[in-house]
Amino acid sequence: MELTYQIDQIAVTVQGDEANEFTTGDAVVLAKAYDDLILEQSWGAEGYTIVDAQEAFDFTEVKRDITKILRSIIAELSPTTDVNGFSLERYHHYVDDAMHYAVIGKTRRLYPQDFGFDEQRLVGFLSRLLGTDLGYMNPVFKANQWIIVRINRPHTVGYNPIHKDIYELHDGFGDIPRMANVWIPICGVEGRTGLPIAPCSHLVPEDQVSRTKAGSVMEGQRYSVNCIETWGGDNQLQTMCPNQGEMLVFSSHLIHGLGRNHHDDTTRISLEFRLYEQAEN
Ligand SMILES: [Fe+2]
C-alpha cells in the first residue's frame, strides 16, 4: 500500500507494505495522560522550538568530533581507502552501500564519551531550557540512552517513516517517561533537506491516529520505529531547518520523520538523542 503525506504542501508518496497493520488507540491524548514535559513550556501547544545553541555547544568542536569519528570508522573498515581529504559533506564519496551500512551500524549507538565535546554543558543548557534535571538515563530501561549520528546520503532511502518516539515505550513497556527529543543539524541541512514535523500533532487523541506498532516496513526496508498514516484526518508536515549552531527541541509525542536528502552531492548529517527527566534523589 502507498502512504501519502503533504510535506511543505508537496505531496510525497512512499511505498508501505502488506505487513504494516494500521490501528487506532483509545480516546486519550498520551502527552496529557503522561504529563509531557513539553506541555509545560511556553511553546507547549506547538510541541517544538528552535533555539540558539551557542551556549550549549561549540558547533566547530562538535563537527570536528563527528568528522574524526567517521574518518576513523571508515579507515578501520577499509584500510585501503585514502581518508586524508575526508569531509562530512562528501562522506558519500568514501563509501559504497555495503560500507555505509557497516558505518551506520556503528553510528546509530554512540554515547557521550565517544565525543570530545563538553556534553555536560549541552545537558545543563537543555535542563535550564526545560526547567528540570535532564540526563541520558532512560528510567524505563534503567540504562543510558544513546546518541545517533544520522547520516543520509544524497537521494537514498534510509530515513525513518513518519512516527512518534513514545510508542516504543508505550507499546513495549506500558510507560512513557518525561523526556524530550533533540535534533542538531551538522551538515547538509537546508532548503527542503531538514526534519519534517507535524506541529501540534502531540495533542491529537489516539483514536484519531492511524499507526502501526514498532517494526514497520517502508520502501522494502524494515525500521525499528512505528509508522503513522494519518492523525486527526491530517497528513501534513512542515520541514524544520535549524541553522548551524541552532537546535530543534521537540516533544517525544510529536509526529515526525521522512527526513529525506534532496541534495545532489551533499551528505546530510544530524545528531539525534533524547534526554529524560532524572528522578530527584
Ligand atoms: Fe524519532
The pLDDT value given to residue 247: 97
pLDDT band at 108; cut points 50, 70, 90: confident
- Residue range 163-192: average pLDDT? 94
- The partner residues of 274 in beta bridges, in order of sequence, read 181
**Ligand 1 centroid – CA 256 distance (Å):** 6
**Ligand 1 centroid – CA 82 distance (Å):** 34
Residue 66 falls within a domain, yes or no? no
- Residue range 214-233: average pLDDT? 88
Residue 228 falls within a domain, yes or no? yes
Residue 102 falls within a domain, yes or no? no
Percent of the chain topping pLDDT 70 = 99
Q: Are 240 and 190 in contact (CB under 8 A)?
A: no
Residue 106 falls within a domain, yes or no? no
The pLDDT value given to residue 161: 93
**Ligand 1 centroid – CA 102 distance (Å):** 21
**Ligand 1 centroid – CA 148 distance (Å):** 11
Dist CA 7 CA 24 (whole Å)? 23
Residue 99 falls within a domain, yes or no? no
**Ligand 1 centroid – CA 79 distance (Å):** 33
**Ligand 1 centroid – CA 197 distance (Å):** 10
Q: Is the pTM of this model over 0.85?
A: yes
Dist CA 189 CA 185 (whole Å)? 6
Dist CA 83 CA 236 (whole Å)? 41
Residue 148 falls within a domain, yes or no? yes
Q: Are 258 and 55 in contact (CB under 8 A)?
A: no
Tell me how many domains the chain contains. 1
Residue 53 falls within a domain, yes or no? yes
Residue 25 falls within a domain, yes or no? yes
The CATH number of whichever domain residue 35 belongs to comes to 2.60.120
The pLDDT value given to residue 118: 83
**Ligand 1 centroid – CA 255 distance (Å):** 8
Range of the domain at 270: 2-58+118-277
The pLDDT value given to residue 158: 67
Cα Rg for the chain, rounded, in angstroms? 18
- Does the pLDDT of residue 157 top 80, yes or no? no
